[in-house]
Structure 1
């Protein structure tokens, strides 16, 4: 039996036992305790979380994290994993940031030189580039833990309208454009609302687990249009390109043969405030025909900017 096979068997044995002595491993695999100590050192250097306790009644303990059976990846599959990791690089915070770094290092150092060179070359020539988001979400990992445990939380929340205390049952968390969001059932308002993780200042109380009202997948699929309103916009070719690169609007853009286009769909009136900054940025490349509320908001924004500079 090769050393690699023996190490694999010992690793699985240790993961199952959790606590053991060198003599127990030696008896199980019919090897000397000196060889066991050498194998344990090898496994520790490979990243296995083994804690050694000295003394007459000492031994070894596998730390609380569970180990999974090894998976064997081809070089191409491993390179694909590193390529996927690149897409996470511009997030300021990740739920499992340390683990991703650890996985990357372990995978990289187990690869042959040819695969390492391919990964280095990928990083030099191919990238998921986005501006690094500078807004931190320091409570992201804590919130994820409470979501997974289906716990209710009380938080201090800083919104544009002021600070408030929220009593929430989280549904899940998701990332969009560098920011993390938390859809949650607001216990006081008796409805599901959306919160930004970076605006949570403190988790003041954690209450026992409750039955989940819905999953994140169910929440994504159940976004009804509560206040339907028509969104009708004529677009220049540049306006078409900008809207096609915006996930929220991409599906609604109709492109003409000359490159111009239009949007003619039904949206929720509550989303008009969200879309206004985009259309304001497009300026003359987007001619709004409906709804009147969007036209009014654009005019108000333009007036505020003119008033800011008219004294000059």
Structure 2
């Protein structure tokens, strides 16, 4: 058996076993202890994170970052991976951006020269364009891991109305228009709301859940927000009362001490045609600051009314 094949077999054994002795490897592969130690050094040089424990009960322990066995790609498969990488170029932050860069570097280095030329052309001629955002999202990986591990979060969240503490149960993250969004169950509002991940200033604490909850895939298959757009509206006292009487807005209205209030939340872009009549009816009791599409819709309705009555005394 070749040395490369033997190293691969020992690598797979070490990854599966996690903790083992040189004698166990020697017995498994019918080789000497001295050869085992030499192979372990070779695997360590290749990047397998192995910790050696000395003493009577010593042995080897594979640390948390496992190495996967080598995967053989065809040239077209390798090039297709770089094609997929292109779609990520317009996001300032990714959950595993360091690891993605490492994968890209390793894969590119292993390609023959003609394949590298093809990859370079892909980078020059294909783009998945999105607005280039300069907003940092430092807690992206943390909230993703909290979603996967079924943990609640106590966070400091900054909206346009100021900073507030929130208790949420995240269900996943997704990217849209160059930004990252976190749908999460808000315990105070008792409903799933959408949060901008870049507006999460800090994670104050976490807590585990025993029960299962909706995940992102299930949420996408429901009728929740899919194409987020910012809704920012200033409300008079009457505007607050009217909006709270609408089920879809009830949980979004924030009321101030003087009875006035505001809405500052993300909604589905597809909802704009349906909410335009409501805000038109509210008139001066609701001043829409965002989105522009809603403002344009209100102006169009006002112009239609004015046109209808032009020329009347």
Q: TM-score, normalised by structure 1?
A: 0.69
Report deviation, 1:165.
Answer: 1.1
2:243 alignment counterpart = none
1:9 alignment counterpart = 9
Q: Give matches, 1:126-275, under 5 Å.
A: 126-223=126-223, 267-269=273-275
User: Measured at CA, do residues 24 and 130 of structure 1 come closer, stay the same or move farther in structure 2, by a change above 3 Å?
Assistant: same
Report deviation, 1:54.
Answer: 5.2
Whole-Å separation in 1 of the counterparts to 2:66 and 2:39? 19
* 2:292 is the alignment partner of 1:277: yes
Q: Give matches, 1:62-77, under 5 Å.
A: 62-77=62-77
Report deviation, 1:194.
Answer: 0.6
User: Measured at CA, do residues 274 and 171 of structure 1 come closer, stay the same or move farther in structure 2, by a change above 3 Å?
Assistant: farther
Q: Give matches, 1:30-41, under 5 Å.
A: 30-41=30-41
Report deviation, 1:172.
Answer: 1.3
Report deviation, 1:136.
Answer: 0.7
Whole-Å separation in 2 of the counterparts to 1:118 and 1:53? 47
User: Measured at CA, do residues 224 and 9 of structure 1 come closer, stay the same or move farther in structure 2, by a change above 3 Å?
Assistant: closer
Q: Judge conservation of contact 1:276–1:294 (CA < 8 Å) in 2.
A: no
2:265 alignment counterpart = none
3-state secondary structure, aligned to 2:156: strand
2:229 alignment counterpart = none
3-state secondary structure, aligned to 1:214: coil
Report deviation, 1:176.
Answer: 0.9
User: Measured at CA, do residues 114 and 5 of structure 1 come closer, stay the same or move farther in structure 2, by a change above 3 Å?
Assistant: farther
3-state secondary structure, aligned to 1:128: coil
Moved more, 36-45 or 205-214: 36-45
Q: Provide structure 2 residue ranges, at least 5 long, that are not aligned to the other structure.
A: 226-246, 249-267, 280-287, 304-313
User: Measured at CA, do residues 120 and 24 of structure 1 come closer, stay the same or move farther in structure 2, by a change above 3 Å?
Assistant: farther
Q: Judge conservation of contact 2:170–2:185 (CA < 8 Å) in 1.
A: yes
Q: Judge conservation of contact 1:152–1:210 (CA < 8 Å) in 2.
A: no
Q: Judge conservation of contact 2:48–2:66 (CA < 8 Å) in 1.
A: no
Moved more, 64-73 or 174-183: 64-73
Report deviation, 1:104.
Answer: 2.1
Report deviation, 1:56.
Answer: 6.5
